[in-house]
């Protein structure tokens, strides 16, 4: 029945509320899938029941097909509408593929068994789940799994075949090994993927392509929400050109201690809202990389950026310039944020139009109702544009139509743990940031909406 619940939740999330009576009726009418079980103590020639579980996850998903790591054949592979419960214990598996696909009214669900601790240890041999390389896999839920020691990707979706409608929730990732374009969740030309309430912990590798989440050529339909992402080079890297003009949503995440960037946005149409982004090499950078469209038409709303060397950086000239038709980051909106920087040269907000005959000299970025503060050598110079730094009064005088409501003060945080590192530390308790936002709420992130619990395993 779990796949039916997820179906209704996805419909609720993307469209409109559903009355409880309709939800229950839908579950009763559509509940036709089969339920299987897998356990490290099981056997692959068993019945797949709770009393006689299978031994390998891959046996249930591909059973030897599509270059799957499990060589044994299985006549009862997971099909549309089926659920696989993963019992507690350690599974030494990698490169798990799936022969079949779910349907819009019958999702395939792979879910940790209630109150049991599973570990999928890939032993740094290959990715954990590898979906879309050899086949099409749509309408899939992965819930409550612990992916340990994957190589290149914990969960890889899409590449040769686009993945459509995935939910990755309550999962935990540790020990990712660096390779080119590595990520705990790697999305390639996939769409309608929701990553929700996951914990991703890296090993402090500083390679730019070592990420918590990496999106290649997305169409803007993906959602990253409630995640805790730490100790990568890039927390979230949205790379290469956009395939559409939908708005990717990155909301209510705790992004911390990543050596290069908390977020690197190299594609257009992204909403970054109510995230806590602390102790990273940079908070968020909009900058074209390797053919991306540069991060334009994006919004940064009600986030708290604290103790990042570069806080918010917008570059409206891309790496490849006019050769690819890239026009860089333009027409962005930066509002109601706390921008607490540590770099006096770059300020708390840096905009780099880099005049060039192929580009407009005005990027049309709107920045207003932000709280600026900088602990660098020159604390009052908080905004940089065209290579010049400005105090907030100088900036307002120069651009009165673009910024009239921002403030320059040190925000007052609750600091409940005493050292400004936990989510609850960043509750706003006083100062003008408490009520200075344009919508009447606090500037910065509402930390009570950032309540990641992850897998807890």
Q: What is the pLDDT of residues 317-343, one digit of tens each?
A: 655 444 444 456 778 899 999 999 888
Mean pLDDT computed over 253-280: 95
DSSP 86-140: E-SEEE---SB--SS--BTTB-EEEEEPTT--EEEE-TTTS-SEEESSSS---SE
Question: Could you tell me which residue, 292 or 153, shows the higher pLDDT?
Answer: 153
Domain extents for the chain? 2-449
Average pLDDT in the 135-143 region?
91
Q: How confident is the model at residue 276 (pLDDT cuts 50, 70, 90)?
A: very high
From the number of C-beta atoms within 10 Å of its C-beta (0-12, 13-18, 19+), residue 456 rates as exposed
pLDDT in tens, 336-379: 999 998 887 788 998 876 544 444 444 567 889 999 998 876 66
CB 149 within 8 Å of CB 182: no
Sheet holding 310-315, edge to edge: 129-131, 153-157, 182-188, 210-216, 234-239, 261-265, 282-286, 310-315, 349-352, 381-385, 388-391
Q: For residues 230 and 73, which has the higher predicted lDDT (pLDDT)?
A: 230
Tell me the whole-structure pTM to 2 decimals.
0.89
Q: Mean pLDDT over residues 97-117, rounded?
A: 95
* pLDDT tops 70 at residue 454: no
- Residue 161: what pLDDT? 74
Query: In 3D, which of 66, 127, 128 has the Cα closest to residue 98?
Result: 66
Angle at 430 between CA 426 and CA 433, to 5 degrees: 80
Q: pLDDT for 199-215, tens place per residue?
A: 999 999 988 899 999 99
Q: How far is CA 35 from CA 41, 87, 110, in A?
A: 18, 13, 10
CB 12: neighbour CB atoms within 10 A? 12
List helix spans (H) across 326-419: 392-398
In the chain, count of helices (H) and strands (E)? 4, 37
Instruction: Check residue 70 and give its pLDDT.
Output: 75
By residue count, the chain amounts to 457
What's residue 323's pLDDT?
44
Given a contact cutoff of 8 angstroms between Cβ atoms, the answer to whether 311 and 281 are in contact is: no
| pLDDT > 70 fraction of the chain, expressed in percent and rounded | 83
Class of domain 2-449: mainly beta
Within 353-408, strands assigned E span 366-368, 371-374, 381-385, 388-391, 407-408
Residue 124 has pLDDT above 70, yes or no: yes
Average pLDDT over residues 384-395: 85
Q: What CA–CA distance (Å, rounded) separates 114 from 128?
A: 21
SS3 308: strand
Q: What is the pLDDT of residues 415-452, one digit of tens each?
A: 999 999 999 999 999 899 998 999 989 999 999 999 76
* Side-by-side strand order, sheet with 108-112: 35-38, 83-86, 108-112, 140-143, 164-169, 191-196, 223-225, 248-251, 270-273, 299-301, 333-335, 366-368
What CA–CA distance (Å, rounded) separates 98 from 33? 17
Integer Cα distance of 2 and 214 in angstroms: 28
- Rounded distance between C-alpha atoms, residue 6 and residue 82, angstroms: 12
pLDDT, residue 219, reads: 83
Q: How much of the chain exceeds pLDDT 90, in percent?
A: 57
- Return the higher-pLDDT residue of 319 and 290: 290
Q: If you average pLDDT over every residue of the chain, what do you get?
A: 84
The confidence score (pLDDT) of residue 401 equals 80
Phi, psi of 395 (to 5 degrees): -65, -45
């Amino acid at each position: 029945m779990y796949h039916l619940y997820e179906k209704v939740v996805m419909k609720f999330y993307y469209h409109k509320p559903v009355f409880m009576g309709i939800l229950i009726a839908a579950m009763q009418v559509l509940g036709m899938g089969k339920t299987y079980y897998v356990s490290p103590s099981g056997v692959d020639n068993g019945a797949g029941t709770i009393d006689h579980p299978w031994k390998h996850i891959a046996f249930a998903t591909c059973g030897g097909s599509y270059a799957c790591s499990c060589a044994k054949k299985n006549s009862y592979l997971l099909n549309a509408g089926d659920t696989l419960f993963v019992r507690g214990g350690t599974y030494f598996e990698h490169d798990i593929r799936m022969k079949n696909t779910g349907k819009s009214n019958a999702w395939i669900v792979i879910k940790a068994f209630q109150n049991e601790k599973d570990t999928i240890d890939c032993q740094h041999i290959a990715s954990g789940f590898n979906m879309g390389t050899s086949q099409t896999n749509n309408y899939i839920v992965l819930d409550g799994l612990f992916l340990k020691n994957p190589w290149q990707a914990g969960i890889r979706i899409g590449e040769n075949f686009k993945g459509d409608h995935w939910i990755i929730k309550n999962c935990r990732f540790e020990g990712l090994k660096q390779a080119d374009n590595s990520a705990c969740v790697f999305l390639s030309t996939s769409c309608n993927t929701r990553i929700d309430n996951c914990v991703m912990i890296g090993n402090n590798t500083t390679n730019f392509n070592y990420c918590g989440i990496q999106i290649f050529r997305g169409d803007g339909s993906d959602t990253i929400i409630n995640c805790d992402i730490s100790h990568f080079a890039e927390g979230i890297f949205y790379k290469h050109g956009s395939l559409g003009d939908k708005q990717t949503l990155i909301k209510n995440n705790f992004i911390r201690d990543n050596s290069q960037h908390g977020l690197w946005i190299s594609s257009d149409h992204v909403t970054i809202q109510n995230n806590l982004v602390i102790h990273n090499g940079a908070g968020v950078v909009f900058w074209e990389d390797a053919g991306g469209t540069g991060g334009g038409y994006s919004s940064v709303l009600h986030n708290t950026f604290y103790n990042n060397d570069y806080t918010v950086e917008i570059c409206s000239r891309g790496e490849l310039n006019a050769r690819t038709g890239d026009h860089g980051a333009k027409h962005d909106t930066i509002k109601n944020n706390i921008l607490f920087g540590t770099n006096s040269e770059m300020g708390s907000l840096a905009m780099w139009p880099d005049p060039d005959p192929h580009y407009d000299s005005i990027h049309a970025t709107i920045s207003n109702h932000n709280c600026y503060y900088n602990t660098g050598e020159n604390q009052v110079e908080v905004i940089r544009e065209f290579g010049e730094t400005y105090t907030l009064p100088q900036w307002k005088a120069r651009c009165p139509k673009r910024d009239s409501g921002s403030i320059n003060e040190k925000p007052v945080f609750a600091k409940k743990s005493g050292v400004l590192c936990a989510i609850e530390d960043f509750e706003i308790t006083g100062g003008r940031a408490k009520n200075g936002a344009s919508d009447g709420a606090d500037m910065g992130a509402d930390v009570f909406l950032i309540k990641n619990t992850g897998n807890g395993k």
